[in-house]
């Protein structure tokens, strides 16, 4: 399992209790371990880094009573009410070690102090209150600030933004030319957007690298199948056969590819910063339903059209005899390639279907209220 990220945690206290609020929405598969000395929490949910695996491990300043403590999972957070052990007192901090954790913040709604009957207790509470106020003052400037994104997040933001701009340009240029002169658009698709589609598809190879490096939480297999399949059709099948350059199927193919991406990349950009938009989420996990089958069908038809052309030119084919004693007939390879469309398409559609089932649970329109 990937290393857990740290969600924001807000804490407050009374003389007899500790209050914790973990800023994590739509929690699933939570694992909670509360002992007299600390708290360990791990779960899947939507937090500061989007949909991800999160966890915390806290060693308390003083012992607590797990039996008298409780927690509840709510739609937008997880709340803990933890009973202190021994005589009630105000803790100067939550953790045993005096360290400043960037994800740990004060819950200003839960900072409270109980009155005491004796002057000694009143004096002690006043001193502790002054200490807490000083601590609050130090952290006040950070109360509503998000941590500055790291280099990896900045890179992924730039990459996703550039891909979004590229595919948006392709879709807009093709749609404009269709509106202006549909016959011209069908026969000049490569002239209108060929350079741009090649650029974004070369850049898309990085989407195979990102999960391999652990920079995004996804499997590299679907990315490899989709990116390399597109690039094979674009750069090899179409790119090396001029008789396909003006075929009308290219317009449909490029419109389908860009239509998928112009809703996918905004979703990724929002997720990088822990943001979420129900409409964008719904579009990202719904647009593929008509577009994936149409894209697979269009790619397959282009390959079918290419087979007789490559039989005629014998390009990429190798015949015996030769120095390597090796033969390769490219039209047969294309026919074999067509054979993998059904299992590959089934795998990709199945993957998207499972992701859609999980993602739509977090959209208010598609889920019931959780107690």
Catalytic residue (one of 61, 265, 299, 337): 299
Q: Residues 6 or more apart from 367 whose CB is under 8 A from it?
A: 360, 361
39 and 158, same domain (yes or no): no
103 and 167, same domain (yes or no): no
Is 3 domain-assigned?
no
Q: Using the 3D structure, point to which of 140, 162, 185 is the last residue of a domain.
A: 140
For residues 125 and 116, the answer to whether their CB atoms sit within 8 Å is yes
Is 164 domain-assigned?
yes
Is 1 domain-assigned?
no
225 and 291, same domain (yes or no): yes
Count of domains forming the chain: 2
Residue pointed to by tokens 């949909």: 51
Q: Is 292 exposed, middle or buried (0-12, 13-18, 19+ CB in 10 A)?
A: middle
166 and 65, same domain (yes or no): no
Return the SS3 of 28: strand
State the pLDDT at residue 214: 86
Q: Using the 3D structure, point to which of 140, 170, 203 is the last residue of a domain.
A: 140
pLDDT in tens, the chain (371 residues): 456 788 889 888 888 888 899 988 888 888 889 888 889 898 888 887 888 888 888 888 888 888 888 888 887 888 998 888 876 778 888 888 888 888 888 877 666 544 444 444 455 555 555 555 555 555 554 444 445 567 888 999 999 999 999 999 999 999 999 999 999 999 999 999 999 999 999 999 999 999 999 888 888 999 999 999 999 999 999 999 999 999 999 999 999 999 999 999 999 999 888 788 889 989 999 999 999 999 999 999 999 999 999 999 999 999 988 888 889 999 999 999 999 888 988 999 998 998 888 878 766 555 444 43
Instruction: Respond yes or no: is residue 299 known to be catalytic.
Output: yes
Is 205 domain-assigned?
yes
Secondary structure percentages of the chain, helix, strand, coil, to 5? 50, 20, 30
46 and 171, same domain (yes or no): no
Instruction: Respond yes or no: is residue 292 known to be catalytic.
Output: yes
126 and 274, same domain (yes or no): no
Is 292 domain-assigned?
yes
Is 96 domain-assigned?
yes
263 and 117, same domain (yes or no): no
Q: Residues 6 or more apart from 59 whose CB is under 8 A from it?
A: 37, 38, 95, 96, 97
Catalytic residue (one of 292, 311, 329, 347): 292
Is 112 domain-assigned?
yes
117 and 186, same domain (yes or no): no
Q: Using the 3D structure, point to which of 113, 140, 167 is the last residue of a domain.
A: 140
Structural domain range at position 169: 151-366
281 and 199, same domain (yes or no): yes
Sheet containing 9-13: which strands, arranged edge to edge?
64-73, 78-84, 17-22, 9-13, 104-111
């Amino acid at each position: 399992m990937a290393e857990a990220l740290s969600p924001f945690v807000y804490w407050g206290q009374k003389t007899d209790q500790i209050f914790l609020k973990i800023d994590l929405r739509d929690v699933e598969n939570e694992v909670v371990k509360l002992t007299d000395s600390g708290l360990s929490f791990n779960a899947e949910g939507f937090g500061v880094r989007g949909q991800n695996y999160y966890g915390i491990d806290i060693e308390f300043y003083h012992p607590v009573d797990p039996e008298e403590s409780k927690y509840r999972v709510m739609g937008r957070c997880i709340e803990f009410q933890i009973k202190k052990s021994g005589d009630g007192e105000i803790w100067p901090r939550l953790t045993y070690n005096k360290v400043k954790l960037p994800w740990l913040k004060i819950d200003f709604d839960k900072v409270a102090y109980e009155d005491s009957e004796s002057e000694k207790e009143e004096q002690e509470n006043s001193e502790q209150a002054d200490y807490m106020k000083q601590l609050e003052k130090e952290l006040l400037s950070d109360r509503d600030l998000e941590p500055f994104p790291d280099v990896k997040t900045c890179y992924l933001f730039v990459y996703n933004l550039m891909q979004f701009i590229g595919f948006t340009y392709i879709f807009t240029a093709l749609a404009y030319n269709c509106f202006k002169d549909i016959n011209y658009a069908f026969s000049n698709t490569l002239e209108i957007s060929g350079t741009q589609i090649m650029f974004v598809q070369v850049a898309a190879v990085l989407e195979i690298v990102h999960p391999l490096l652990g920079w995004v939480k996804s499997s590299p297999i679907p990315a490899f199948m989709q990116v390399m399949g597109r690039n094979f059709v674009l750069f090899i099948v179409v790119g090396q056969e001029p008789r396909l350059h003006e075929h009308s199927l290219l317009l449909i193919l490029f419109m389908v590819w860009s239509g998928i991406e112009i809703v996918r990349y905004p979703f990724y950009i929002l997720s990088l910063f822990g943001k979420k938009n129900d409409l964008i989420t719904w579009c990202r996990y719904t647009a593929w339903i008509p577009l994936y089958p149409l894209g697979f069908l269009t790619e397959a038809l282009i390959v079918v059209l290419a087979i007789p052309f490559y039989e005629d030119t014998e390009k990429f084919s190798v015949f015996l005899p030769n120095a390597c004693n090796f033969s390769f007939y490219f039209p047969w390879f294309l026919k074999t390639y067509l054979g993998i469309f059904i299992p590959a398409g089934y795998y990709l559609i199945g993957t998207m279907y499972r992701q859609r089932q999980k993602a739509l649970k977090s959209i208010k329109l598609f889920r019931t209220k959780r107690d």
